[in-house]
Amino acid sequence: EAGVAQSPRYKIIEKRQSVAFWCNPISGHATLYWYQQILGQGPKLLIQFQNNGVVDDSQLPKDRFSAERLKGVDSTLKIQPAKLEDSAVYLCASSAYDRVSYGYTFGSGTRLTVV
């Protein structure tokens, strides 16, 4: 099966600019996650979707971050405006179920550098 697709792979922007990331999960996977991984730290969950509904966005900085999953398939994550501390790898993952016993499937991530 095809993996989780993410784009772009790399992005460099200036602070206060906007940026958007795209994720296409594995076909049929109902649950989609966006994680932020800052250098030296573990990935942190930003938002979890079940189909096109939000299950958990408690750690999403909603003043600048937004995410949507229209039609319960693809998802986009947007940052507007970006800050220096948003420099990180943004990982998208999907799973067939909310709580899994076989691991999540991750995309290769988008590395964002804010200068």
Residues near another protein (CB under 8 A) are 3-4, 33, 35, 40-45, 48, 56, 91, 99-109
Straight-line distance from the first to the last Cα atom of the chain, in angstroms, rounded to the nearest whole number = 37
- Smallest distance, Å, CB 86 to another protein? 18
- Rounded to 10 degrees, the C-alpha dihedral 58/83/34/5 comes to 170
Measured from the CB atom, is 27 or 70 closer to another protein?
A: 27
Asked whether 76 and 86 are in contact (CB, 8 A), the reply is: no
CB closer to another protein, 71 vs 99? 99
To another protein, the closest distance from the beta carbon of 44 in angstroms equals 7
- The residue (of 44 and 62) whose beta carbon lies closer to another protein is 44
Q: How far is the CB of 81 from another protein (least distance, A)?
A: 27
What is the smallest separation between the CB atom of 58 and another protein, expressed in angstroms?
9
Rounded CA-CA distance 93/89 in Å is 13
Pick the closer one to another protein by CB: 22 or 106: 106
- Tell me: cis bond preceding 61? Omega within 30 of 0 counts: no
Give yes or no for a cis peptide into 8 (omega within 30° of 0): yes
